[in-house]
Structures are given as C-alpha cells and as structure tokens.
C-alpha cells in the first residue's frame, strides 16, 4: 500500500501547478504581442494571486523563465515561446484576466487559459489582406497620390500582403518574405506606371504594409523600461524587415527601369 | 487649413493595421478616430512651423496619452489604441527615398568622386531624418506609459 501524500507533498504539488499556470500565462502574453514589462508584471501578479509568496522572472525573445517561492520552497521552470505574434484581442483579455485573478483558483485560471486558446477569433485572412491594401491606398493618398495612384497602391498592397502571408505560412524567414512581398507590390505599380502621374507616391505606399509597427513600438517600450537586450532584439528584427522591404523595392525599380 | 482634409485618410490606414493586429471590431472606430486626430495634430503643427520630428513626436505623444488613459477604462490593453494610430505618421516616402537614393548611387556613381560622396551624403541625410522621425514616433507613443508610474501598471 502506497503512503498517503503528506501535507508538504500537496503544498509542493500546488506550487508546481502555480508555476506552470503562471508560466503559461506569460507565454500567451508574449505570443499575443506584449512587451517585456507587461509579460513580467502579468506573470508575477498571476503567480502571487494564485498563492505564491514571491515570483521572479527571466524573459528573453525566445524563452520565459519563472521561479515561484512559498513557505521556504521554490520551483523553477523555463518555456520556449514559439513566435512573437500579435493578437491584441487576446492581449486585452489576458490583461483583464490578470487583474481579476485575485482569489481565483488554479483550476479556474487553467480553464480560462484553455478557453482563450480555443477561442482564437481572428478576422478572415482575405479581409485582412484587402484591408492592408486599403491601408496602402490611404498612405498613397496621404502622400498626395492621384486617384489612379491610390487604386494602384491599394491593389499592389493587397498583392504584396497576400505574398507575405503565403511565404510566412511556408516558414520563410522575415528578410526573405519581406523582400519578395515588396518586390511583388512594387512590380504591380511599376507595371502600370503610365496609369498615374504620381508614381513615386504610389510605389512607396504600396510596400508600407510591411512597416514593422509592433516590433518597433515594443522594442522602444522595452528600452524605456530598462529591458535593453529584448528591446535591441525587437528593433533588430524591425531593421531586418525594413531592409528586406527596401531591397525588394529597389530590385523592382531596377528591373522595371524606374530607378 | 485647406490641405487638412487629407487627414481623414489616416482612418482606413490605421484600421487596416488594427485588423492585422486583431483589434476587436468594437474598438476599430475609436482607433480610426485617434489616427485622424494624430495626423491632424502632426499636419497642423507643421503648418504652425514645428519641425517634422517635433510635430510627429507631439502627435504620437497625444496618441500614447489617450491610449494609456482610455485603454484600461474600456477594458482594452493600451497598445490597442496606441499602436495602429501612429502608423500613418511613419515617414514611408522618406525612408523609401533614402534607400532608393542609396541604391541609385551605388549603381550610377561608381568610384570615389565628389559627386558620389555628395549623392551618398544626401541619401544618408534623408535616411537619418526619416530614422529620427520614426524614433520620435516610437518615443512619443510609448513615453506616456512612464508618466504616473504609481497609477499605472505595465498591464494597462
């Protein structure tokens, strides 16, 4: 007959459950586009609200570590984060969940996290691609393009965004998919260059769906909150994306003899 | 003031990116409105004589301040209202021109002639100006988070 678990064993098992639940929470915040301070504060808040005395974090661009302490015991775990995506609906939900986690049981928190993962409601991909094209058309208008230039930028932006989506799904690296997407977008405008009198505005705006807004802003947030290493990683990623886009644009202009 | 009508284009510009970031449908109108306000501030302050960098910083700061004030009250994470609205302010044409001029110089100005150096200097100046504007936008949108640290948390 196996001995019954002692109260100490149960306490340690509960601490392990707090650790894994809080870590899962942090991974989801990171994956939905939270900057480092947000990931850290969320994990610490959830861990202490679920019953840990204190919680310490270690966050890098590719992994998250957490140490929880209670009654002289501590538990440590590290998880890799698959990718730094963007999902602000989920980020907002997690933000609200962290704030109301006081008094919540570990099981209830786990159930909420499972529900978040299953409820991944996103806009339909074709709609997002078309809207990115509309954004490019709007930027062309802001740069002073004529109606044909706006239309061309819209069409080219949609084509480029679709190319990026296609290549991203096939696990190409950011530099490659941004280069090819910019090449496609700029080529669409170059191929119809005679249709507009504002070619420069249209071709420039057509690749702006590649602006790495979230890495740039999260990188800045990391630098301003003293998370320098993660900030530099995000800003470097943004620089690589911009370089790929610029190279794609230059190649298209050279190919269509518009340089 | 007659040129200010074009600021309404910031609305669809920001809405497209907000959908890419998977912002909730109910938050999209406010995101679009903030983007229009931001472009209005940037354009109008330029007309008043402010530099591009200063006017973009001011516009982005207003966006950040609004986002960090209303975001938590409306139950949204502040990046929902802070990130997409500043994207129409990115000096895309300047950035592209800097890269294109650089490539153009490499292709059409071989050697170390005075003309080559001048062309490179012009491209670098445009690039640095664009980079400074982007930095001003990022700092402007994020820096309100650093104000009133006791009243706000990173989760807001």
B62-96, pLDDT tens digit by residue?
999 999 999 989 989 999 999 999 999 998 888 88
Q: Per-residue confidence at B156, pLDDT binned at 50, 70, 90?
A: low
Residue with tokens 């994207």: B87
**Residue B156 lies inside a defined structural domain of this protein:** no
Please give the pLDDT value at position B84: 96
What single DSSP character describes residue B21? Answer: T
Give the CB-side neighbour count of residue B132, counting CA atoms within 13 A.
Answer: 11
Please report the residues numbered 114 through 143 in chain B whose beta carbons come closer than 8 angstroms to any beta carbon of chain A: 134-135, 138-139, 141-143
Nearest CA in chain B to A222: B142
Closest by alpha carbon to A111, among A97, A90, A92?
A97
Distance between CA atoms of residues B129 and B123, nearest Å = 10
pTM greater than the 0.95 cutoff: no
- Residue A9, pLDDT > 60, answer yes
Q: Could you give the CA distance from residue A44 to residue A159 in angstroms, rounded to a whole number?
A: 43
Interface test with A, best of B13, B67, B147 (most A CBs within 10 A): B13
B153 has a pLDDT exceeding 60: yes
Residue B145, pLDDT score: 82
Nearest chain B residue to A135, by CA: B13
Residue B152 counted as domain residue: no
Nearest to B59 by CA among B152, B144, B146: B144
pLDDT over threshold 70, residue B123:
yes
Q: ipTM of the predicted structure? A: 0.92
Average pLDDT value for residue range A62-75: 93
**Would you give the DSSP letter of residue B156?**
-
Lowest mean pLDDT among A60-64, A149-153, B20-24: A60-64
Distance CA(A182)–CA(A173), nearest Å, equals: 14
Q: Return the SS3 of A37.
A: helix
The answer, yes or no, to whether residue B132 has pLDDT greater than 80, is yes
Instruction: Please name the helix (run of DSSP H) or strand (run of DSSP E) that holds residue A250, with its range, or none.
Output: helix A228-255
Helix axes A174-191, A147-169, angle to 10 degrees: 150
Q: Residue A202 above 90 pLDDT? A: yes
The proportion of chain B whose per-residue pLDDT surpasses 70, expressed as a percent, equals 90
Contact A135, B6 (CB under 8 A): no
Domain containing B135 equals 2-147
**The predicted structure's pLDDT at residue B3:** 64
- With a CB cutoff of 8 Å and minimum separation 6, the contacts of B108 are none
Structure-block tokens of residue A73: 């015991």
Q: Which of B9, B22, B104 sits opposite A88 (nearest CB)?
A: B22
Cβ–Cβ below 8 Å for A204 and B141: no
Output the CA torsion A89→B148→A49→B21 (10° steps): 10
Answer whether A141 touches B (CB < 8 Å): yes
Burial class (CB in 10 A: 0-12, 13-18, 19+), A195: middle
Interface of A with B in 215-254 (CB under 8 A): 216-217, 219-221, 224-225, 242, 246-247, 249-250, 253-254
pLDDT of the residue at A191? 95
Confirm whether B154 is domain-assigned: no
**Residue percentage of chain B with pLDDT more than 90:** 60
Q: Which of A35-39, A48-52, A80-84, A195-199 has the lowest mean pLDDT?
A: A80-84
pLDDT of the residue at A110? 95
Distance CA B19, CA A125 (A): 10
Q: Which of residues 27-86 of B touch A (CB under 8 A)?
A: 39, 75-77, 79-80, 82-84, 86
As a whole number, the mean pLDDT across chain A is: 92
Element (H, E) at A54: strand A54-59
Of A137, A141, A208, the CB nearest to B6: A141
- Count of structural domains, chain B: 1
Separation of alpha carbons A161 and A102, rounded Å: 42
What's residue A1's pLDDT? 61
Mean pLDDT, residues A153-162: 98
Mutation for testing the B interface, residue in A33, A93, A138, A256 having most B CBs under 10 Å = A138
Q: Is residue B68 part of a domain?
A: yes
Task: Say if residue A147's pLDDT is above 60.
Answer: yes
3-state secondary structure of A124: coil
Residue B24: inside a domain: yes
CB A138 within 8 A of CB A106: no
Considering chain B, what is the average pLDDT of its residues? 88
> Which token pair is A119?
């409820």
């Amino acid at each position: 007959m196996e001995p019954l678990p002692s109260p100490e064993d149960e306490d340690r098992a509960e601490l392990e459950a707090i650790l894994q639940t809080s870590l899962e929470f942090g991974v989801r915040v990171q994956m939905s586009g939270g900057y480092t301070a947000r990931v850290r504060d969320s994990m610490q808040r959830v861990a202490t609200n679920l019953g840990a005395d204190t919680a310490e974090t270690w966050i890098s661009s590719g992994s998250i570590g957490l140490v929880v302490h209670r009654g002289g015991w501590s538990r440590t775990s590290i998880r890799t984060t698959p990718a730094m995506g963007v999902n602000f609906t989920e980020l907002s939900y997690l933000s609200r969940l962290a704030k109301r986690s006081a008094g919540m049981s570990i099981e209830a928190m786990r159930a909420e996290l499972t529900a978040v993962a299953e409820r991944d409601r996103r806009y339909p991909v074709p709609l997002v691609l078309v809207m990115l094209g509309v954004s490019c058309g709007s930027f062309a208008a802001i740069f002073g393009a004529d109606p044909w230039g706006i239309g061309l930028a819209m069409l080219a932006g949609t084509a480029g965004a679709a190319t990026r989506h296609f290549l991203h799904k096939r696990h190409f690296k950011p530099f490659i998919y941004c280069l090819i997407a910019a090449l496609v977008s700029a080529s669409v405008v170059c191929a119809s260059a005679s249709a507009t009198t504002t070619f420069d505005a249209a071709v420039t705006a057509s690749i702006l769906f590649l602006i790495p807004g979230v890495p740039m802003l999260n990188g800045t947030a990391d630098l301003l909150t003293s998370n320098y290493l993660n900030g530099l990683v995000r800003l470097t990623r943004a620089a690589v994306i911009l370089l790929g886009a610029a190279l794609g644009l230059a190649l298209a202009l050279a190919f269509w003899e518009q340089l | 003031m007659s040129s200010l009508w074009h600021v309404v284009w910031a609305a669809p510009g920001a809405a497209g990116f907000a959908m890419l970031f998977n912002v909730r449908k109910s938050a999209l109108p406010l995101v679009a409105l903030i983007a229009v306000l931001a472009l209005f501030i940037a354009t109008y302050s330029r007309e008043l004589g402010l530099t591009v960098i200063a006017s973009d910083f001011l516009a982005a700061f207003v966006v950040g301040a609004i986002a960090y004030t209303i975001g938590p009250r409306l139950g949204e994470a502040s990046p929902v209202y802070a990130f997409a609205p500043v994207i129409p302010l990115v000096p895309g044409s300047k950035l592209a021109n800097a890269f294109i001029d650089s490539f153009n110089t490499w292709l059409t100005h071989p050697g170390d002639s005075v003309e080559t150096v001048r062309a490179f200097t012009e491209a670098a100046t445009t690039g640095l100006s664009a980079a400074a504007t982007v930095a001003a936008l990022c700092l402007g949108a994020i820096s309100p988070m650093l104000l009133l640290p006791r009243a706000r948390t990173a989760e807001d």
